[in-house]
Amino acid sequence: MIWRSVVGKLSLTIVGVVSMALILLGMMLAQLFENYFYEREASDLKVLTQSVVKVLENAPNRGEALTSVTQLIESDYRTIFVVNKDNRNVLPRTVQLMLDDPRLSDAWRGETVVFRGQFPDPTGKTRAYLPFLVSAQAHVAPDGLELVLIYETDEPIQAAKNKIDQLIFAALAIALFVTTLYALFLTRRITLPLREMHTAANHIAEGHYNMRLSIDFQDEIGSLARSFNHMAHQLEETMTTLKRERDQLTRILRALGEGVISVDEHLKIRLINPHAENLLSTIFGTSDTLPPVLTSVFKETIAKQEEEKKTIEQGGATLIVLTSPLTDKEKDKILGAVGVLRDVTQERQLDRLRHDFIANVSHELKTPIAMLQGYTEALLDGVYSSPEEQRELINILYEESLRMGRLVYDLLDYTRIETGHFELNLEEAAIQPLIDRLRRRYSAFSAEQDVHLRIICEVQGRAWVDPHRLEQILINLLDNAFRYTPKGGNIDVLIWREERHLKIDVADSGSGIAEEDLPFLFERFYKADKARTRKGEGTGLGLSIVKRLVEAHDGSITVESKLGIGTTFHLDFPHAFAPPLNTHEV
């Protein structure tokens, strides 16, 4: 509705106020003009009365003079009477009432009297009293004192007044029309910028912070528009800063290596970073809701409003959960809690591996050192009965020293690989010479162990490998195969090319490896059941070194094994027949 809008209210207010002012002004002007007309008519009537008196006083023939004056003065609205003692009683009732009016008393004393009054209609057309303007003055006639009485109706005055009223009404109507137009123009001039501000405010509320007003008034509205633009500019900068900080926070949360979860007071997830989602999905099977074990931690934090630290073990994983309450200090209200999930499974495993490493090294060194010490003491004490026994003791000392040497060299190799100080020297090397060296190395040993070794190389030409490290890989695998293959068994090495890949299989017909041991086969110092070996002389580092050397070639190694059947290692070097881009550093 129009009266509910600013335009309607302001326009109606202006038009109403101006209308009231114009109406009051019109009424005042109408009254002013009416008074003016009565005063002017009274003055004219007074002068006319005085003139008639003078004419009658100076006329030689009063009858002719009175007739002439009557003809000149009387009209439809004006009448003259000359009252004396002879005709006073026969005058019309209207005139008699005029004569009885107290205001006429001064006229009998020679003064000119003019007054307004309500008297009966002399024509008898209506019984109502009509307004009359009466003028009278007495003078001394030859027959005695007589009174000249002239009265007239207010029709001329009302006619003039009506014309003036019409002019005033027309002027008021024009003024009101102009005022209405001006009010509409003024209100539109005021409200259009307000509407523009309303539209701009809605756009800003929708997120369009670059919205600006193009109002260039030099008044209060212009000042308001400039303040609005300044506010919009500050809001845009603030929102841009908040968005930038939010994006930075999001990137930080995404880049964090720890899970972050924020919940409200009802334990509903409000914020979760990808790492936390991955942890919840992997460990608890869901990332949409908190698992019960975490729910209890957050619930306790919110209830106590204190930081909590819990260690949770679930499905083989270990989590450290640090939680802290979120509070609104101004309103003294709890908002929820935030928690950091740290997966320490690998750290715990590394701690265990470190402990196991030290224990295994100590254990592996303990046996040869004890044997060296024991046999050395036996030699020093001369506990032998013949040169053959002495030679056997010295041979045992030599073998144990070799075993310690292999352990130390394996440890050095493994340490260099793990610490990144191992460089792989790739070159385009011939494969066949390497195979020939392996055959010569193991020909006598295979005959001594009664194990049939067969090496088949289907690769002709060269391959991009580190020949010394490839030979070390095969020696470790063959040593391991001989260690686990009983007499009469077979060891097969197959080397072939598949597109750019160099493929190597090392298979033995040994006792095999239990399925539960396979996932841990390449861990350092891990050994399968020693009862299956013919000699428990391994260091437990060979396969770990093999795996890392193969991976240094960007290759992969897998193992298949069945108890009582044997074990096969599959090696794949995917870039052996393509020139390398650079030298790998492990």
Helix (H) or strand (E) holding 325: strand 317-328
Give residue 453's pLDDT: 92
Residues 126 and 29 in one domain: yes
pLDDT band at 568 (very low <50, low <70, confident <90, very high): very high
Structure tokens that stand for 511 in this block: 């006792």
Q: Decide if 367 is inside a domain.
A: no
Does residue 245 sit in the same domain as residue 269?
no
CA atoms of 298 and 260, how far apart (whole Å)? 13
My answer on whether 335 and 298 are in the same domain is yes
Domain boundary among 343, 363, 381: 343
465 has pLDDT over 80 = yes
Are 122 and 154 in a shared domain? yes
What is the model's pLDDT at position 4? 58
Confidence of residue 540 (pLDDT cuts 50, 70, 90): low
35: how many CB neighbours lie within 10 A of its CB?
Answer: 10
Residue 131 is inside which H or E element, if any?
Answer: strand 129-141
Tell me, yes or no, whether 546 and 524 share the same domain. Answer: yes
- What is the reported pLDDT for 530? 46
Q: How many domains does the chain have?
A: 4
Q: Which domain holds residue 333?
A: 254-343
Indicate if 28 and 173 belong to the same structural domain. Answer: yes
Residue 389 in any domain: the answer is no
pTM of full prediction above 0.75:
no
Which tens digit of pLDDT belongs to each residue from 353-409?
677 667 766 766 666 677 677 778 777 777 666 777 777 778 777 777 776 776 676
Instruction: Report in angstroms the alpha-carbon separations of 399 from 15, 375, 394, 538.
Output: 121, 12, 9, 13
Residue 577 has pLDDT above 70, yes or no: yes
As a whole-number percent, the residues of the chain with pLDDT over 90 amount to 7
The answer as to whether 36 is a domain residue is yes
Q: Is position 363 within any domain?
A: no
Q: What is the pLDDT of residue 326?
A: 84
Q: Which of 287, 319, 343 marks a domain boundary?
A: 343
Distance of CA 329 to the CA centre of its chain: 23
Instruction: Give CA–CA dist 106/349, Å, rounded.
Output: 137
- DSSP letter at 319 equals E
Q: Are residues 138 and 191 in the same domain?
A: yes
In a domain, 507, yes or no: yes
Same domain, 190 and 272: no
Q: Which of 233, 253, 273 is where one domain is finished?
A: 253
Which CATH number does the domain housing residue 280 bear? 3.30.450.20
Q: Indicate which CATH number applies to the domain containing 474.
A: 3.30.565.10
Residue 115: both structure tokens together: 């007054």
d(CA 37, CA 217): 51
Alpha carbon distance 184, 186 (integer Å): 5
The answer on 195 and 58 residing in a single domain is: yes
* Structure tokens belonging to residue 376: 């050395």
Q: Strand, coil or helix: what is 251?
A: helix
Which residue is it, tokens 């004192």? 145
Average pLDDT, the chain: 80
Same domain, 194 and 275: no
pLDDT band of 6, cuts 50, 70, 90: low
379: in domain: no
Spatial strand order of the sheet with 78-83 comes to 78-83, 144-153, 129-141, 113-120
| Contact yes or no for 507/566 (Cβ under 8 A) | yes
Q: Say if residue 202 is in the same domain as residue 329.
A: no
Tell me, yes or no, whether 330 lies in a domain. yes
pLDDT above 90 for 338:
no
- How far is Cα 178 from Cα 186, in angstroms, rounded to an integer? 12
**306 and 241 within one domain:** no
290: number of CA atoms within 13 Å, CB side? Answer: 25
Does residue 35 carry a pLDDT above 50?
yes
Q: Does residue 402 lie within any of the structural domains?
A: no
Furthest-apart CA pair in the chain: how many Å? 207
